[in-house]
Structure 1
Amino acid sequence: MKLTQTHIEELYKFTKKHYVEYYDVQTELVDHLANDIETICLANPKLSFDDARDTSFKKFGIFGFMDVVEQKQSQMTKKYFKIILNFAKEWFKLPKIILTALLFIGFYQLQNTPNAYTIYSTVFGFIFLAQVILTIINARKLKKEFKITKRKWLFKNIINVQGLIYAAFISIYSFQYLFPNNTKDFLLMGDFRKAFSAFFITFLVIFGYITLVVIPKKAEELLEETYPEYKLI
């Protein structure tokens, strides 16, 4: 059996019915199902399309497409943080390394002032709040876009929503567990811990800049690199 466009459309509906909401994941599954159905029908020509489809679907086990979705989610999340890492590496090359060094020295020297804890807290709070606000704004934009295109893209969702949630969680976790929680203990830190604190807050400032400014600006470019078909929309 050679599958028709109608069959392909039915497979898209089938994956959506089984809780696969992202178009890119649906496309991968439809491609797999289509090839498998043709193979199954080649071995048993009398089998109907629906029966061949159900036979193929059973191969995914009792959890259906869930494992595939989770694997794709993990893969795209790793891709997102790899992109962040690649952008972060640029801050350790000229000329940005000069600004990085100045940030580190500034935060290190700042720890000797009475207001150091307040300033550190403000920086963390600003990054965290900005990530939360941008997450809400982007989530609303994606919702409006879905109403028009009827398509959701997993990597686009990670760039605009999930990635920012992860970033916000990392920021607040770092502040709560890696730094003293009061002004007195902050001022009493030893030289090594001061250097570590200065390094880490410098990293988080760069991390926040990349997630809040750099990646959103390059989002369309990154999406087109990930999905060649995205250019056609």
Structure 2
Amino acid sequence: MKLSKDQIEQLKRMISKKGYVHIDVQYEILDHVACKIEELLEEHPTLSLEDAFKKVHSSFGIFGFSTLEESYMRSIQSRVKKYFWQEMKDFLTSYRLLFPILLGLLIYQASLLLNDPKAWVLILSGFLLLASIGVIFPYWRKFQRLKNYASFTTSTNLFQLVNFGIICCLYSYQWVYKVPQGTDYLFFHIFQGGIILVMVCFALSIFILPRVLDKSIAETEALKRVYGE
């Protein structure tokens, strides 16, 4: 038997009560559950929808629908990583690569004008901190609008990269610009080189993160049009 619209809405509420609050996760689970419930009700017409739901839920084992949720989340994470590396490849092979190159030349020229060979560290840190704010602020507002969708909230894990970059910017003052005394150790130079490498990678990422997030937003908006609120 086919489930009615009211029965579908009841199933969505039952799934939500199980702790799956993201709308797209609910529909992902619903796609798997509805068919099994239809088969159960076909075999046992007197069975209530709630009892059928309990039977289907128990058939997934002790973890219930968590396996479906985890599978969906992994697919999103895999898709976001694919977007990131594809955008990075496109960026490195397009004219947009000129932007960080020009930025590097400007920072180097500023260091010469300031007559301070290490001033580039502070200038680059300042640029990255301002750029981070420029990325986080507009997408944080979009997060408030799309936070009910796992397809968007999962992609915001990219902000961990921003957080790591900001931490390296803060460390750069002490460990690169203002070199502590007694630092003729191999470990220090490795650590210093690591900070510089992360800052450079972070600077490149700033140019592609908005494009990756925009793709995620476009997918979420498409889901929103299908699923509604």
Displacement of 1:10 after TM fit? 0.9
Matched, 1:230 2:197: no
- TM (norm. structure 2) is 0.71
Which residue does the alignment assign to 2:79? Answer: 79
Displacement of 1:210 after TM fit? 2.3
- Structure 1 regions of 5+ residues with no counterpart? 144-151
Deviations 1:88-124 (A, max 9, x none): 2112214234445445666678697131331232233
Q: Is contact 1:104-1:202 (8 Å) kept? A: no
Provide runs of 4+ in structure 1 moved above 6 Å. Answer: 105-109, 176-180, 188-198
State the secondary structure of the residue aligned to 2:208: helix
Q: Number of residue pairs matched?
A: 219
Q: 1:104 to 1:86 in 2, by over 3 A?
A: farther
- Structure 2 regions of 5+ residues with no counterpart? none
> After superposition, where does 1:64-143 map in structure 2 within 5 Å?
64-103=64-103, 113-142=117-146
Displacement of 1:73 after TM fit? 2.5
CA RMSD, Structure 1 to Structure 2 (Å): 3.9
- TM (norm. structure 1) is 0.70
Deviations 1:109-166 (A, max 9, x none): 86971313312322332234334434543333447xxxxxxxx32213345xx24532
Deviates more, 1:13-22 or 1:191-200: 191-200
Q: 1:202 to 1:107 in 2, by over 3 A?
A: farther
- d(CA) in 2 for partners of 1:165 and 1:200? 15
Q: Is contact 1:80-1:163 (8 Å) kept? A: no
> After superposition, where does 1:138-217 map in structure 2 within 5 Å?
138-142=142-146, 152-159=148-155, 162-172=156-166, 174-175=168-169, 181-185=175-179, 200-211=198-209, 213-215=210-212
Q: Is contact 1:36-1:56 (8 Å) kept? A: yes
- AA matched with 1:113: P
Q: Is contact 1:84-1:210 (8 Å) kept? A: yes
The percentage of aligned residue pairs carrying the same residue is 21
- d(CA) in 2 for partners of 1:198 and 1:97? 19
Q: Is contact 2:122-2:173 (8 Å) kept? A: no
Deviations 1:183-214 (A, max 9, x none): 1449x999999987666434322312322x43
Which residue does the alignment assign to 1:149? Answer: none
- d(CA) in 1 for partners of 2:42 and 2:102? 67
